[in-house]
Each structure stands twice: as structure tokens, then as C-alpha cells.
Amino acid sequence: MAPLLLLLPVRAWRCCRRRGATGAGPSGRPLSSSSKSTFDVAVIGAGIVGLASARELILRHPSLTFGVLEKEKELALHQSGHNSGVIHSGIYYTPGSLKAKLCVEGAALCYEYCDQKGIPYKQCGKLIVAAEQEDIPRLKALYARGLQNRVRGLQLITSKEIQAKEPYCRGLMALDSPYTGIVDYKQIAQAYAADFQAAGGAILTDFEVHDMKVAKESPAESQEGIKYPVVVRNSKGEEICCRHLVSCAGLYSDRLSQISGCSPEPRIVPFRGDYLVLKPEKCYLVRGNIYPVPDPRFPFLGIHFTPRMDGSVWLGPNAVLAFKREGYRFYDFSLRDFMDAAAYSGLWKLVGRNFSYGIGEMYRACFLSAQVKQLQKFIPEVTINDILRGPAGVRAQALDSDGNLIDDFVFDGGTGDIGGRILHVRNAPSPAATSSLAIAKMIADEVERRFEL
């Protein structure tokens, strides 16, 4: 149940202390300090979506003051820094959906931005491979969907053409997406931060938002109102004041929404994805991205081969329930996070519909030989001696109470006094990193519409 919103006395906002950012910035230098603790708009969350949105807003409104509040001491530390690094082309998504539109637009903007900033990337392409006859109708349907989404360069290729592109890959047919690429998204997020700071924005790290309320006007201020009425307090008791708030909190988007008086749904349920890594001497087996044809009965894409900018090759990920929202290791556990997930009826409905799939994912997470067996469908030469356990990421999966995965964007505002002053990005689903610049434009449009900037 959402906590009651209490009105702060006017003295509270007057006592907001000056506070600069701490930690290291994108180039290793100190993050820019704020000469005051008040902002026209504060953005919560310094992941790739929050930073892209803050950058877009300050470029549109250079006369306003903007701040970014980040609970960690570093930027882009979680989902933005724990992902596959793929620049997706937009094949999978329902034609006409926001995901399809934003991915195609976002990929083009991503490549353009990397070219402008000198950020290295590789347009290494992707093959979606049909390993069995039953995969071919689904592959052809994906091809038709990709064409509807106006994905560039798509073509269906034969078994012989597969081997011309990926000599060690076996398949009956594949969908070739040459426009798919790879990049280091943390580097892109840091470039967004540098743009934001260069335009005069302030980034406050080590600022974990604990509470947000609206200050109460005194009689003397009732005619003009308080200029910065929203008071945001962190877990250390420090405060900033602002006119409006935008929350891009990723794994904690539901909790911050509840703090402001929003509905608890959609809820965030964390899923961990564990990767394997090819040993360096075996990386020659993979040139570009190699994906299976996704099975529509199951919610995730399946294990795939992903080259990385550093020359390594990741294999995976699987998808298992995480027992901590930022738990990247098998044994990471948070009682609160576990209880939140276990008490949510939506999760149990999802589990009930995908029970066999979930058991299979847990089995494969424990036994490498089971994952290798899946990988060998596409590259038979891969053996258990060729792989190592690798990194992991945690996906902020939004679920409704019926157990449905929320597949598109969800915006929300608070209730009561804070309602007209806050915008929550409740769900920014994959491929949010690819789409970040396009998503930022949409969020900025929504901010302008709601707040009349």
C-alpha cells in the first residue's frame, strides 16, 4: 500500500543544503558540482535512459536548470552496464508498436551518435538461424515482421550462405540482419552524461532517493507559490528541491512510484541472465551475432552467441528469477526483494504458465552441459571444455497482476499534491539501450506535455 503523502513545512525546503556531486565522471574527473540545490527538473536515475532523457531535456530547454540523482557512486552501473551490447535492428517487435518504431529510429540515432562522438562500434550483423524444420515458418514470419518494421537489409539465406557468413554455424535457413551491431553501452551513457554536464546540468551521485513530498506554502507565499515545491530526500537525510521530477529508476521504478502515491502496478520482478564466455582461443568460431528462432510460447529469446567489442564472445543468457534486484551472482539474496516477488500473484501466474520452461532454465543454469547442448545445435564444434562461466545481468521485468509481461512503455504520475509534478517511466523494455535517444525524445515530449515547460 502506498504511503501517505505528507506536506512538508515551508522551512524544510528553505533548509535544502548546497550539495555537489561526488564520484568520478565519464572521463575520470569529478562530476560537476551544483552551485545550488534547486532545479527546474530533476531526473532520478543515471542509467542510459535517464541520462539520455536529461540530455534531451537540457538541450531543448537551455534556460532551465536540470539535475540527475543517482544512488550509486558511478553512472550506468546496473542494467546499462550489464547487457549484451547489441545494437538491435527492430526485427522482433509487433509492427506499429512503440518498441518497433523506437528501435528502428533509435538504432539509426545510435550509429549517428557514435560516429559524432568517435565511440567505437562494429556493424557485425546477426543471423537468426532455423536449426530445425519447425523453425522455418516462424523464421519467415519474423522476416515479414522485419519488413513491416522497415528494418534495413533483411534477407533470408540458405544453409550454404549461412556457412559463407559464419563458417562454423549450421542451420537450414537464416534471417540475415546486416544492420545489427555491437557497442559498449556504458561508454555511450557516459557520453550522454558528458553532454549533459557540458550544457550546464548537474549530476549528484551517491544520492539514493528515500522520500519525495511537496512543501506547504506559508501565508506570505500563497500568492506566488513556492518556486521549487518538490522536496526530494535521500537515505542520508540530505535534500534537493525542484519544480518537477522525472523518474527513470529501472529496477526500482515500482518502489519510487509507490513512494509518490502511484499504483503498485506494474510490479518489477528481477530476472537474472547468466552468460558463458568462449575461451579466447575459440573465439574464431563466431564472427557476428547468432540467434535461435524465438519460440512464441516462451517469454525470452533463447541462448545466443554475442561478440563483444573487446574481442570476447558471450554465450547466453539464460533467464532465472533473481533473489535480489541487483544480484549478479547465484547466491546474492535480499530478503525484501525475495518477499516482494514471492508475495506477488502476477509472478505465480507467470510461473504457472511457463513452469516447464522455468525448470529447464534453472537446470541449464546449474549444469553447463545442458547449455552446451543447446549451443551445439548451431555450432557443433563447441564443447564444454571451450567455455567458462561469465558475467550476468538483471532485467527489470514489469509484470501485471495477471502474470502478463508488460511489453511496451508505461508512464505514470503520482496522486495528490505531487501528482502534477512527477512523471514515472514505469517500464522501458528491451531494447531500451538501442532505443535510448529515441526514447529520450518521447520522454521529453511527455514531460513538456505534462509540465508545460
Lowest mean pLDDT among 49-63, 117-131, 308-322: 308-322
Q: Are residues 216 and 291 in the same domain?
A: no
Interval 12-47: pLDDT, tens: 333 333 333 433 344 333 334 444 489 999 999 999
Interval 48-80: pLDDT, tens: 999 999 999 999 999 999 999 999 999 999 999
Q: What per-residue string of b and e applies to 105-129 under the rule 16 or more CB within 10 Å gives b? A: bbbbbbbebbeeeebebeebbbbbb
Q: Are residues 240 and 389 in the same domain?
A: no
What's the CA gap between 22 and 280, in Å, rounded? 37
Task: Name residue 307's beta-bridge partners.
Answer: 313
CB 41 within 8 A of CB 421: no
Share above pLDDT 70 across residues of the chain, in percent, rounded to a whole number: 89
Per-residue pLDDT, 202? 97
The structure's pTM equals 0.89
119 part of a folded domain? no
Q: Is the pLDDT of residue 254 over 70?
A: yes
Q: Are residues 375 and 394 in the same domain?
A: yes
Lowest mean pLDDT among 10-24, 26-40, 106-120, 426-440: 10-24
State which residues form the domain around 38: 10-79+186-265+408-451
Q: Is 88 exposed, middle or buried (0-12, 13-18, 19+ CB in 10 A)?
A: buried
109 part of a folded domain? no
**3-state SS assignment for residue 136:** helix
Q: Are residues 273 and 251 in the same domain?
A: no
What are the φ/ψ torsions at residue 309 (nearest 5 degrees)? Answer: -65, -25
How many helices (H) does the chain have, and how many strands (E)? 12, 20
Per-residue pLDDT, 296? 73
- 302 or 67, which is more confident? 67
| Nearest by Cα to 48 from 29, 33, 26 | 26
Q: Are residues 323 and 240 in the same domain?
A: no
Say how many domains are in the chain: 2
144 part of a folded domain? no
CATH code, 304: 3.30.9
347 part of a folded domain? yes
CATH code, 241: 3.50.50.60
Q: Are residues 316 and 245 in the same domain?
A: no
What is the overall mean pLDDT for the chain? Answer: 88
175 part of a folded domain? no
CB 131 within 8 A of CB 290: no
Q: Are residues 334 and 362 in the same domain?
A: yes
27 part of a folded domain? yes
435 part of a folded domain? yes
Q: Are residues 287 and 422 in the same domain?
A: no
208 part of a folded domain? yes
Q: Is the pLDDT of residue 277 over 70?
A: yes
Q: Are residues 260 and 271 in the same domain?
A: no
Q: Which triple of cell numbers denotes residue 19?
A: 550539495
Q: Are residues 292 and 261 in the same domain?
A: no
| Nearest by Cα to 92 from 169, 19, 151 | 151
Task: Name residue 425's beta-bridge partners.
Answer: 411
Q: Are residues 282 and 244 in the same domain?
A: no
Q: Are residues 288 and 379 in the same domain?
A: yes
What is the DSSP-derived secondary structure letter of residue 330? T
Instruction: Write out the DSSP string of 196-240.
Output: HHHTT-EEE-S--EEEEEEBPPPGGGTTT--SS-EEEEETTS-EE
Interval 77-100: pLDDT, tens: 999 999 999 999 999 999 999 999
Per-residue pLDDT, 111? 98
Interval 161-192: pLDDT, tens: 999 999 999 999 999 999 999 999 999 999 99
Q: What is the mean pLDDT of residues 384-412?
A: 91
